[in-house]
């Protein structure tokens, strides 16, 4: 007898969770989360989960510590309620940029977060576009790291089908990602931005490696945070003769005054997904949001049915 599927949502991205449940043709499970005056959280699972295949959707986006702790408490509650299997669905995995020691006496926080999720009782993790692929190895449980390409490429093909398109990596570490995008866009040309940092770790100089003169440039990255480096890269590409510049970043962290920076920049468009919610994102004319909800619904169904998740990537 197949285990029953049930999906719960944390409070980080409830609209996304509702869309995922809709894609699965089910209602979200009942979950009451109360925050006390001292900041502590209490969780009450309103549905029977004994012997069921449970998925908990929660991005660890801002406020990251609160959303992470909420996820851990929910997982613990489900484990103690005898769920058969618990999958932590984390569309945006916070702390992913702290994946290695760049200097002495600093933590590897991504590893710590992986240990916390595992210890809380998760049996597997479903996420997308981890900042560093090796984070999958920080877990001692299965991790499915989806690639947003199948969701983003159809829109990019429609909007940027020019023969003059150049895919730009914002740094050397993102070249492989840029190459994947280019291969799905008629083997578009590639360019890389070489960043030089000053003594205060701020980007002091940028140089473009590759020919962008007279070209339409699309910068691709896994996330956009403050937007400062991205805006500077845009200006550098125009200085090198680009005719138009847009960007595609999977996770819209967009902290601080990032929206204002993007709005005032020379960018034609910033393409993002809904792994992180922004109430005012639709008011920003330069930001195009493409939903990952149906993609995640398909991945959840495949995991529940014990089917191959990698098959989703063949649809590009």
Quick one: residue 144, left, alpha or beta (phi over 0 = left, psi -120 to 50 = alpha)?
beta
**Using CA atoms, how far apart are residues 23 and 30, in angstroms rounded to an integer?**
18
Structure tokens at 212: 């962008």
Q: Which residue has the tokens 């890269």?
A: 233
Cα–Cα nearest to 5, from 39, 49, 37:
49
Q: Which sequence positions are flagged as catalytic?
A: 195
∠ Cα 109 115 120 (to 5°): 130
Tokens linked to 170:
């914002």
Distance of alpha carbon 292 from alpha carbon 303, whole angstroms? 17
Tally Cβ neighbours within 10 Å of residue 161.
11
Positive or negative torsion for Cα 199, 203, 205, 207: positive
């Amino acid at each position: 007898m197949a285990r029953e599927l049930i999906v719960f949502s944390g409070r980080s991205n409830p609209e996304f969770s509702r869309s995922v449940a809709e894609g699965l043709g089910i209602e979200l499970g009942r979950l009451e989360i109360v925050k006390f005056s001292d900041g502590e959280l209490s969780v009450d699972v309103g549905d029977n989960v004994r012997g069921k295949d449970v998925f908990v959707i929660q991005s660890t986006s801002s406020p990251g510590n609160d959303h992470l702790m909420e996820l851990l408490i929910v997982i613990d509650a489900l484990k103690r309620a005898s769920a058969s299997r618990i999958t932590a669905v984390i569309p945006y995995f916070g702390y992913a940029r702290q994946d290695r020691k760049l200097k002495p006496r600093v933590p590897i926080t991504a590893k710590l977060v992986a240990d916390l999720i595992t210890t809380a009782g998760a049996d597997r993790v479903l996420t997308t576009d981890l900042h560093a692929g090796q984070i999958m190895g920080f877990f001692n449980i299965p991790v499915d790291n989806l690639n947003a390409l199948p969701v983003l490429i159809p829109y990019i093909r429609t909007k940027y089908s020019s023969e003059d398109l150049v895919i730009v990596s914002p740094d050397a570490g993102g070249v492989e990602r840029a190459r994947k995008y280019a291969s799905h866009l008629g083997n578009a040309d590639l360019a890389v931005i070489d960043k030089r940092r000053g003594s205060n770790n701020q980007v002091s100089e940028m140089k473009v490696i590759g020919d962008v003169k007279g070209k339409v440039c699309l910068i691709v990255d896994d996330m956009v945070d403050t937007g400062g480096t991205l805006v500077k890269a845009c200006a550098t590409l125009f200085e090198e003769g680009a005719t138009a510049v847009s960007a595609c970043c999977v996770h819209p962290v967009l902290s601080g005054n990032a929206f204002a920076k993007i709005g005032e920049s020379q960018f034609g468009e910033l393409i993002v997904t809904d792994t992180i919610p922004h109430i005012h994102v639709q008011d920003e004319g330069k930001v195009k949001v493409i939903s990952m909800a149906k993609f995640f619904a398909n991945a959840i169904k495949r995991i529940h049915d014990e089917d191959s998740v990698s098959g989703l990537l063949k649809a590009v």
